């Protein structure tokens, strides 16, 4: 059951829901204020003992809230409950886009680092840079690993040719 649904297969408008904890024993205390006439009405209902499930005002309030959540979910928040998976999917897509941007940026920085060290020329520093980057690139997913390795291997080959 998600935050906006009370799709409890055993749900019934005639049933009393006075439990203070969920199936795992979790609960959170909420303090709220009510108009005096509402408090008096709740007290009258509880004190009448006509509904034994309402042993306390808290029992009445928990039952009322549970039923209202069910009603709102069923009648008013259908769009919201359908939007939640879409919003989660959009957030995941945004996360993936950020990851792709970072991976592309990594490939570009490797290319730039190789170019700078090759053009100086500082082949010892370039060789060290290539070796260090190859260690890190092993952890990167495809196709970014292949792109980075292609650049590193190309400059490694250039260093070998220059060293002859």
Task: Give the closest residue to 36 by CA, choosing from 28, 44, 47.
Answer: 44
Q: How many Cα neighbours within 13 Å face the side chain of 15?
A: 10
Q: What is the pLDDT of residues 6-34, one digit of tens each?
A: 456 677 788 888 888 877 778 888 899 99
Report the pLDDT averaged over residues 59-66.
90
What pLDDT is recorded for position 4?
A: 39
- Asked whether the beta carbons of 4 and 77 are under 8 A apart, the reply is yes
Tell me the whole-structure pTM to 2 decimals. Answer: 0.49
Residue 46, pLDDT > 50, answer: yes
Name the pLDDT band for 86 (thresholds 50, 70, 90). Answer: confident
In sequence order, which residues have a C-beta less than 8 Å from that of residue 18 and are 6 or more positions away?
53, 54, 55, 59, 60, 62, 63
Asked whether residue 82 carries a pLDDT value surpassing 60, the answer given is yes
Q: Residue for token digits 């006075």? A: 18
CB 81 within 8 A of CB 5: yes
Structure tokens of 82?
């359908």
pLDDT computed for residue 1 by the predictor:
42
d(CA 137, CA 150): 11
Reading the block at residue 14, the tokens are: 């005639």
pLDDT at 8: 60
Contact 149, 137 (CB under 8 A): yes
């Amino acid at each position: 059951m998600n935050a906006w649904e009370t799709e409890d297969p055993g749900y019934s408008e005639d049933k009393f829901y006075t439990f203070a904890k969920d199936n795992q024993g979790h609960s959170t205390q909420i303090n709220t204020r009510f108009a005096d006439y509402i408090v008096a009405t709740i007290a009258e209902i509880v004190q009448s003992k006509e509904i034994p499930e309402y042993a306390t005002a808290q029992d009445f309030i928990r039952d009322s809230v549970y039923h209202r959540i069910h009603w709102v979910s069923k009648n008013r928040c259908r769009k919201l409950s359908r939007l939640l998976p879409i919003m989660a999917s959009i957030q995941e897509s945004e996360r993936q886009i950020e990851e792709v941007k970072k991976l592309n940026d990594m490939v570009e920085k490797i290319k730039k680092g190789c170019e700078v060290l090759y053009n100086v020329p500082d082949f010892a520093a370039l060789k060290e840079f290539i070796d260090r980057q190859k260690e890190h690139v092993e952890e990167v997913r495809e196709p970014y690993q292949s792109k980075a390795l292609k650049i590193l291997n190309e400059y490694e080959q250039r260093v070998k040719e220059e060293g002859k």
